[in-house]
Amino acid sequence: MRLFEINTVIERPERALVEGLSHISTANISDAMGNLSTLDSGIQSLVQDKCICGPACTVVTPAGDFLPVLKALHAAKRGDVLVVDNQGNPDAALWGEITSTEAQVKGLAGLVLDGLVRDIAPIRELGFPVFARGTSPRVSGRGSLGEVNVPVRCGGTVVNPGDIVVGDTDGVVVVPLQKAQAVLSCAQSIVEYEEGLRSKVGSGTSQVEIYNLDELFESLHREHQSAASE
């Protein structure tokens, strides 16, 4: 085994799983997973009205170095989401207009970067989906080794190659490859449940009534009074 791995062959999910999850919001998917594998709120969409859903092509790079990112971009396949672990998030951009152009030509689904990008105006003109922490004009170096398609940590969440990455205007969630079918089924049930709830609320029924929250409030109030009197 090489000390610095560049893996070009990974297990990817069935297309039907990616397609199914692409129609479900990150909020519902996060609910289905009990809020696990949800990236922290600092990583947000920088290109308006663009969503992503696809298998992760992962890269870990020393803070502020661009070379492993370019190696990952070269290794990524059509439909992949490039997921970048920046190991420290210095004030330098690891992505820009040219890399977005290459990714778009290759047919990548998008980028999730635990760090910064630049050239955001032309990236928005391209319409390439980018999820990152923000922008900086400062360029990164290209002189350090890293690894491609290995387990990484992005936004506080472990991401393995081939996991399904879903991003929308709320943020980004990662669906573990081996649990994708179960997560999809649970998320679909949540969507159906919320459709019914939305209909009830739309007709004028309050959530206090739907969930019988008056009874819960009074129960909690009695517990508080009891504890306070001890």
For 18-75, write each residue's pLDDT tens digit: 999 999 999 999 999 999 999 999 999 999 999 999 999 999 998 888 899 999 999 9
Max mean pLDDT among 54-68, 138-152, 172-186, 193-207 falls in 172-186
Would the pLDDT of 1 be above 70? no
**CA–centroid distance for 122 within its chain:** 23
The domain segmentation of the chain, as residue ranges, is 15-179, 187-229
Q: Which of 32, 6, 153 is nearest to 84 (CA)?
A: 153
Q: Write the pLDDT tens digit of every residue in 107-137.
A: 999 999 999 999 999 999 999 999 999 999 9
Q: Select from 3.40.50.300, 3.50.30.40, 3.10.20.30, 2.60.40.10 the CATH code of 15-179.
A: 3.50.30.40
- Using CA atoms, how far apart are residues 175 and 22, in angstroms rounded to an integer? 12
6: which strand partners? 148
Q: What is the percentage of the chain residues whose pLDDT exceeds 70?
A: 99
Would the pLDDT of 5 be above 90? no
